[in-house]
Amino acid sequence: ALKTGATTIRAIATGDANAPHVVVCVHGWACSVYSFRRLMPLLAAAGLRAIAIDLPGHGLSDKPDDARLYTLDAQVECVLSAMDSLGIRRAILVGHSMGGPICARAAVLAPDRVTALALLAPAGFGTEWELRILRTLTPRPVAPVLPWLLHRWMIAAVFSVVYGSLYRPTARDIDEYWAPSQFPGFVRAMWDLLHRFEWSAGTDFGFGTISAPTAIMDGRSDNLVIRRWVRRYVEVLPHASLTVIDGCGHVVPEEAPDLVTQAIKGLIGYI
């Protein structure tokens, strides 16, 4: 558990504490450190120190009732504060989905602290179709009743859409993603992120100034993020490359952890 301001968040770590390179993993909307469970052992085996955090509102971290904490820059501050608490001066940031723009914005606001970026199926240049639908279906008057409308079977239904053919989620996976939703404040926090997070931040939040070498990884079978917006990262970031993974859906760190590890090892050559 780490203190970031008035909020306590969960962090997990693996690998040699004295490794020359540290990787900090930042998950997507409604996810947790669990989404990096297949990636982190591979990073450790590659000689890296791997750390994953639960952002505020997610997993086992606090779920504060303060909408100001669910903006892009507030989430970035949480990541940087977590690094401070762990004594990490500089790190490779790995961001999945919503974690993509969080890591990219961190490289804008604190370029001396980000040595490289790996952005996996990143959001950030537009509000994806499913988020636009959710926003429409969840106006503020509906928010208080949303916890009563969330059921475990919905997790399985979402999984049928978000994964490709490289990995099939298990019953335990459903339980792990479902469990945080039972904490008070989870649904409210997800609502705040849905409506307050800057999902199109890349347009005017300085992403073009990022100097860190960046690997963009995109699943060819991803049904969530819009292809042209993922490719905008490669067009806008001056040192970005794109890898498209056949058979991979949206959950790149679970579906192709070996390829992500290879990409991160490749980034180290440019640091």
**CB atoms inside a 10 Å sphere around CB 64:** 19
| pLDDT confidence bin for 185, thresholds 50/70/90 | very high
| pLDDT confidence bin for 150, thresholds 50/70/90 | confident
pLDDT of residue 120 exceeding 90, the answer is: yes
Note the pLDDT of residue 209.
96
pLDDT of residue 68 exceeding 80, the answer is: yes
Question: Model-level pTM?
Answer: 0.94
- Which residue did the predictor score with more confidence, 270 or 140? 270
Q: What is the pLDDT of residues 124-137, one digit of tens each?
A: 997 666 677 776 76
Mean pLDDT of the chain: 93
Note the pLDDT of residue 72.
97
Give Cβ neighbours of residue 157 (< 8 Å, ≥ 6 apart): none
Note the pLDDT of residue 184.
87
Q: What is the 3-state secondary structure (H, E, C) of 77-113?
A: HHHHHHHHHCCCCCEEEEEECCHHHHHHHHHHHCHHH
Please give the Cα distance from 82 to 86 (Å, whole number): 6
